[in-house]
């Protein structure tokens, strides 16, 4: 059971980077390399905090319920702080391209919606 949960987390994280990579490649072909880089940065703003969250949750495995809940809240709080910090740092860069940045960010976040839909399809 444990390996199945973690393999699902790994699949979600891999799918996030795959889709962000594909969006960035599309930007290279249909716009320019500058847009592709901003798209990758946006994807990383979502991906890195998700990796942190997954690590926090994984480290609580096998502990009592209270510690698991605490790890969840600490992981989610850290994820939000990391996201805010990363956006704050990115907005310090010159010539921020908001469209590709947010496209990469939303693309990475959309993986969670697809994962939920795919999981629901398995139960029907």
Q: Which residue has the tokens 């502990």?
A: 63
Read off the pLDDT of residues 56-68 as tens digits, 9 standing for 90 and up. 888 888 889 988 8
Determine if the pTM surpasses 0.95. no
Using alpha carbons, list the distances in angstroms from residue 76 to 11, 19, 35, 93, 106: 19, 23, 29, 26, 18
Under 8 Å CB-to-CB from 4, ≥6 apart: which residues?
A: none
Read off the pLDDT of residues 32-64 as tens digits, 9 standing for 90 and up. 999 999 999 999 999 999 999 999 888 888 889
Q: What percent of the chain has pLDDT over 90?
A: 65
Report the domain count for the chain: 1
Residue count of the chain: 124
- The domain in which residue 101 lies consists of 2-123
């Amino acid at each position: 059971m444990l390996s199945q949960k973690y393999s699902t987390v790994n699949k979600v994280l891999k799918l996030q980077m795959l889709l962000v990579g594909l969006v960035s490649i599309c930007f290279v072909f249909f716009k320019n390399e500058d847009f592709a880089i901003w798209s990758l940065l946006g994807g990383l703003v979502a991906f890195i905090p998700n990796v942190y969250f997954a690590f926090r949750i994984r480290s609580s495995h096998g502990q009592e319920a209270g510690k698991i809940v605490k790890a969840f809240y600490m992981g989610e709080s850290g994820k939000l702080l990391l996201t805010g910090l990363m956006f704050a740092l990115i907005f310090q860069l010159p010539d921020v391209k908001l469209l590709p940045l947010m496209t990469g960010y939303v693309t990475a976040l959309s993986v969670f919606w697809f994962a939920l839909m795919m999981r629901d399809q398995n139960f029907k």
